[in-house]
Amino acid sequence: MVSINPGQIVYLECLDQRLYAEAIQLAGSVRLWCRPLMLVCNLPYGSRQQQMMIAEAAAKPETCNLDLYDLKTAPDLVWPMDRFKLAFDTDFFALLFYLRIADNNDSEDLAKQHFQHFLHTCWNPGSSNNDASQSSTKLLSIR
């Protein structure tokens, strides 16, 4: 298991989506309290292909085919720590910077909808990236 420290950028993958978040604090020994920052959708399946596409998008964000959602108003969440991976900060910050300078306020509701969909899909015991033992645990978000 990867050691995660407060302030690090981490991500969760679920199907064709990746949620980037800032680690806030360890919540017990198996959960991480984090602040969602950005959701990336329409990625290819598989971590290696996803990372390649994100790196390409970071190099040329104005021409990328990914859907990017700024989650600056999304609630914090507490999630099983073993699901998180450490992010490549340079790719993440390039995409987040692009989103923030675009500053499309009309997309805030859409971002919230996609965030909620991501959480429910990722938490669903039937999703391919999920552990069935989590099905009896409640989904918890804070803010």
- Residue 29 to residue 52: CA distance in whole angstroms: 32
pLDDT band at 90 (very low <50, low <70, confident <90, very high): confident
Is residue 135 pLDDT above 50, yes or no?
no
What residues have CB less than 8 Å from 16, skipping those under 6 apart? Answer: 41, 42, 43, 44, 45
> Both tokens of residue 107?
């997309």
Hey, which of 28-37, 88-97, 98-107 has the most confident mean pLDDT?
Answer: 28-37
DSSP 3-state assignment of 22? strand
Q: For residue 140, what pLDDT is reported?
A: 54
Check the CA dihedral 120-63-51-47 and report its sign. positive
pTM, to two decimals: 0.81
Q: What percent of the chain has pLDDT over 70?
A: 83
pLDDT band at 130 (very low <50, low <70, confident <90, very high): very low
DSSP 3-state assignment of 14? strand
- Cβ contact 92:20 at 8 Å: yes
Query: 29-48 pLDDT, tens per residue?
Result: 899 999 999 999 999 887 77
Task: Kindly list the domain boundaries of the chain, sorted by start residue.
Answer: 8-106
